[in-house]
């Protein structure tokens, strides 16, 4: 930290320059809830001496765990057994962490319980187990408690596995806007175990595939080709090893696809955790989708709304001369194959224009629209004309609103 003093006729001022360094781990593991695997309790500790001291100590480990109530129904007994086998003093709080409940009220409910349980804010991280909504709310609650209490993310949906768990964002919805309250406080660690995905409903697998497709279109042609070829297989097998027609190949593809999605996401996020640079490729699919998602809540899942946004933007890209008709068709076919909606009646031209106007307010006066340029490459556009937006919208509606009606209602 540095402090600079400057004296003028108006008075004295001090400028403080204090770089903030966050270090956090994203760890892929197996059998996270096996009592012999201590990753959940100790995997966040990087200091080997500290780790050894805890292992030698007779003092029981203390953990406050927030878990989505649907996840608790499936894994509650296993989680309890894990904590008791490891002699942990614990409190498990199971909550309905849905998009409709993603509020300050729920964050405060968590904080009241944390306060009653009493934890050491330096050595006893709060553990969040659930989908992206759960991880976001708990992250915000932890960042508020005693100004910053460490927390651990354990994603149990595909979407949170490759998206919410690996970044620094926390947040809740406010004033009917998605994630309007939040902080950039990364977790102490994120622990990823693909086996949680085996109990995720098919629609939620599809939901997560949308965010994987986002990273593929922006940054990685190889990932796009994996999803184009194997997307349906991943959907059919829940990213697990499979003894049916697919055989062992499935787990290999699942592991490869999730790894590429995570690495490309971390490459994009890590130099820009605080979004100082507003030109963000990870915003693809997130210009119109927040307003669409909130407008039709709860009928669209997050990834579904993102996919509808991406689908429209693919048409914008084609009309801007950045994408060939063949690539456009390949992308839309890939989306449909992964059972993602590609059109929605609530995504009107009025909603699109309003969303882009809102974008200008929060992005330094520029729309900063990420658009695919071929497959696996992208550029940020600031000068897409109204004429192109309207032309793309007309073609998008003409070509997709009939064929995707069944998708939109599912």
Nearest to 120 by CA among 86, 79, 89, 93: 89
Joined tokens for residue 15: 């400028």
pLDDT at residue 241 in the model: 85
Q: Point out the domain boundary residue: 168, 199, 230.
A: 199
Nearest to 306 by CA among 190, 159, 102, 154: 159
Mean pLDDT by 10 residues, the chain (410 residues): 94 93 92 97 94 90 98 98 97 97 98 96 95 98 96 98 94 96 96 96 98 98 98 95 75 94 94 90 97 96 98 98 98 98 98 96 94 97 96 98 48
Compute the distance between CA of residue 101 and CA of residue 106 in angstroms, rounded to an integer: 7
Compute the distance between CA of residue 203 and CA of residue 57 in angstroms, rounded to an integer: 46
Q: Which domain holds residue 218?
A: 202-409
Same domain, 140 and 206: no
- Residue 339 in domain: yes
DSSP structure class, residue 365: T
Same domain, 160 and 287: no
Same domain, 192 and 272: no
Same domain, 260 and 375: yes
Joined tokens for residue 162: 């490759």
DSSP structure class, residue 187: -
- Domain with residue 108: its CATH number is 3.40.50.1970
In angstroms, what CA-CA distances link 353 with 174, 211, 349?
Answer: 22, 23, 6
**Are 118 and 93 a contacting pair, CB within 8 Å?**
no
pLDDT at residue 42 in the model: 97
Joined tokens for residue 383: 């000068």
Establish how many alpha carbons lie within 13 A of residue 294's alpha carbon, considering only the half-sphere containing its beta carbon.
17
Q: How far is CA 75 from the centre of its chain?
A: 22
Compute the distance between CA of residue 204 and CA of residue 195 in angstroms, rounded to an integer: 15
- Residue 7 in domain: no
Backbone φ and ψ of 266, nearest 5°? -65, -35
Nearest to 98 by CA among 152, 142, 134: 134
- Residue 123 in domain: yes
Joined tokens for residue 5: 């003093």
Same domain, 112 and 192: yes
Same domain, 347 and 363: yes
Same domain, 296 and 164: no
Residue 148: other Cβ atoms inside 10 A = 12
In angstroms, what CA-CA distances link 296 with 291, 302, 345, 359, 367?
Answer: 9, 11, 10, 20, 24
Nearest to 270 by CA among 368, 210, 370, 186: 186
Backbone φ and ψ of 240, nearest 5°? -115, 160
pLDDT at residue 394 in the model: 98
- Residue 303 in domain: yes
**Which position has the token pair 């960042």?**
143
Compute the distance between CA of residue 92 and CA of residue 85 in angstroms, rounded to an integer: 15
Same domain, 148 and 176: yes
**Are 138 and 115 a contacting pair, CB within 8 Å?**
no
pLDDT at residue 80 in the model: 98
Compute the distance between CA of residue 410 and CA of residue 396 in angstroms, rounded to an integer: 20
Question: DSSP H helical segments within 297-342, as ranges?
Answer: 302-319, 325-337
Compute the distance between CA of residue 84 and CA of residue 35 in angstroms, rounded to an integer: 9
Looking at the DSSP bridge assignments, the partners of residue 8 are 11
Same domain, 124 and 234: no
- Residue 3 in domain: no
Same domain, 195 and 213: no
- Residue 5 in domain: no
**Are 319 and 328 a contacting pair, CB within 8 Å?**
no
- Tell me how many domains the chain contains: 2
Same domain, 346 and 309: yes
Active-site residue numbers?
169
Joined tokens for residue 118: 């009493």
Please tell me the total number of residues recorded for the chain in this structure: 410
Same domain, 108 and 122: yes
Q: Point out the domain boundary residue: 177, 199, 221.
A: 199
- Residue 22 in domain: no
3-state secondary structure of 179: strand
- Domain with residue 296: its CATH number is 1.20.1090.10
- Residue 16 in domain: no
Q: Point out the domain boundary residue: 169, 199, 229.
A: 199
């Amino acid at each position: 930290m540095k402090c600079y003093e400057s004296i003028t006729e108006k008075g004295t001022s001090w400028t403080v320059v204090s770089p903030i360094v966050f270090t956090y781990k994203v760890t892929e593991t197996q059998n996270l809830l096996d009592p012999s695997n201590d990753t959940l309790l100790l995997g966040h500790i990087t200091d080997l001496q500290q780790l050894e001291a805890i292992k030698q100590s007779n003092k029981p480990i203390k953990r406050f765990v927030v878990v989505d109530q649907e996840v608790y129904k499936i894994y509650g007994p296993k989680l309890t057994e894990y904590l008791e086998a490891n002699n942990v003093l614990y409190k498990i709080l199971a909550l309905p962490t849905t998009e409709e409940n993603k509020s300050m009220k729920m964050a405060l409910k968590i904080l009241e319980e944390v306060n009653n349980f009493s934890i050491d804010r330096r050595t006893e991280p709060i553990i969040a187990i659930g989908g992206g909504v759960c991880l976001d709310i708990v992250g915000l609650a932890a960042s508020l408690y005693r100004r910053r209490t460490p927390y651990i993310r354990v994603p149990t949906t595909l979407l949170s596995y490759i998206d919410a768990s690996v970044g620094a964002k926390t947040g809740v919805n406010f004033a009917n806007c998605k994630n309007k309250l939040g902080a950039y406080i990364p977790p102490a660690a994120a622990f990823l175990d693909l086996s949680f995905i085996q109990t995720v409903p098919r629609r939620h697998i599809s939901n997560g595939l949308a965010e994987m497709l986002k990273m593929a279109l922006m940054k990685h042609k190889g990932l796009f080709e994996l999803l184009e070829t194997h997307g349906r297989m991943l959907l059919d097998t829940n990213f697990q090893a499979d003894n049916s027609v697919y055989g062992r190949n499935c787990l290999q593809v699942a592991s490869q696809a999730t790894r590429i999605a995570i690495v490309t996401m971390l490459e994009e996020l890590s130099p820009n955790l605080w979004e100082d640079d507003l030109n963000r490729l990870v915003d693809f699919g997130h210009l119109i989708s927040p307003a669409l998602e909130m407008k039709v809540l709860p009928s669209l899942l997050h990834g579904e709304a993102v996919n509808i946004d991406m689908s429209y933007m693919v048409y914008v890209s084609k009309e801007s001369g950045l994408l060939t008709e063949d690539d456009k068709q390949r992308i839309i076919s890939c989306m449909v194959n992964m059972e993602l909606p590609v059109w929605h009646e609530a995504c009107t031209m009025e909603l699109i224009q309003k969303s882009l106007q809102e974008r200008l307010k929060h992005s330094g006066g520029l729309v900063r629209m990420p658009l695919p340029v071929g497959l696996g490459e992208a550029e940020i556009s600031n000068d897409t004309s109204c004429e192109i937006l309207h032309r793309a919208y007309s073609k998008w509606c003409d070509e997709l609103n009939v064929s995707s009606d069944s998708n939109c209602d599912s």
